[in-house]
Amino acid sequence: MDRISSNMNLLSNPNLLIINLNRDPCTGLQTITFDDIPNISPIQNAIPSSYACFNWINGWYINANTNSTTNTGYQAVLTSGQYVALNRNGTTLKINLSNKLFDIISFWAASAYTTGLRISIQGSRNNTLVNATSITLHTNAASLVQLNWTNIDNITISSSPSGLGNQFTIDNLVVIFS
């Protein structure tokens, strides 16, 4: 049984309480909620470049419970806490690790403002594309994006069309650090 399947079997056991005793937050199974960002702004700001062990390029976070997010995908995608991530101004979001591989299991996603927004997701290792998919997102409902991609060091997520008003939003990014 591969590492993803064995972790999924663990997660599906309702009688199992998972406590991560790892002192290193960059090991094992992790759910990135965006609610524990250091010195978090009450409204929105850039995701710190080393948050949750990743380098974040064009990553931003927003409080999904503010008045400016009413009736948007920010509220639709919120699955825990009050903060979600987005691609700043509709630009390409890049999430990567240096000198380490990870598996991306899943995340929740929605379009912030544009219903029917298409996003492309690419996973690469050593600058070589190894996985790719595209999905359509809506503002009124979140989609669970299940990837189960292993041994990658970079995720790129881009919206089509790109630019202001074409932001996507994500919550509860589940990864396994190698």
What does DSSP say about strands 93-96 and 128-137: parallel, antiparallel, or unpaired?
A: unpaired
Per-residue confidence (pLDDT) for residue 22, from 0 to 100: 52
22 domain residue, yes or no: no
23 domain residue, yes or no: no
Residue type, 148: N
80 domain residue, yes or no: yes
Per-residue confidence (pLDDT) for residue 19, from 0 to 100: 52
Each residue's pLDDT tens digit, 106-120: 999 999 999 999 999
Mean pLDDT of 24-42: 93
> What is the CA angle 126-178-48, rounded to 5?
75
**pLDDT class for 178, splitting at 50, 70, 90?**
confident
Mean pLDDT of 5-28: 58
48 domain residue, yes or no: yes
> Are the CB atoms for 82 and 65 separated by under 8 Å?
yes
**pLDDT class for 154, splitting at 50, 70, 90?**
very high
List the domain range (segments joined by +) for residue 58.
Answer: 3-13+35-177
27 domain residue, yes or no: no
Contacts of 173 (CB under 8 A, 6+ apart): 31, 32, 85, 104, 106, 107
| Count of domains forming the chain | 1
Per-residue confidence (pLDDT) for residue 90, from 0 to 100: 95
Per-residue confidence (pLDDT) for residue 14, from 0 to 100: 47
20 domain residue, yes or no: no
Per-residue confidence (pLDDT) for residue 5, from 0 to 100: 53
Mean pLDDT of 74-99: 96
Residue 139 is part of a domain; what is its CATH number? 2.60.120.1350
Could you give the CA distance from residue 106 to residue 108 in angstroms, rounded to a whole number? Answer: 7
19 domain residue, yes or no: no
29 domain residue, yes or no: no
Each residue's pLDDT tens digit, 56-75: 999 999 999 987 888 899 99
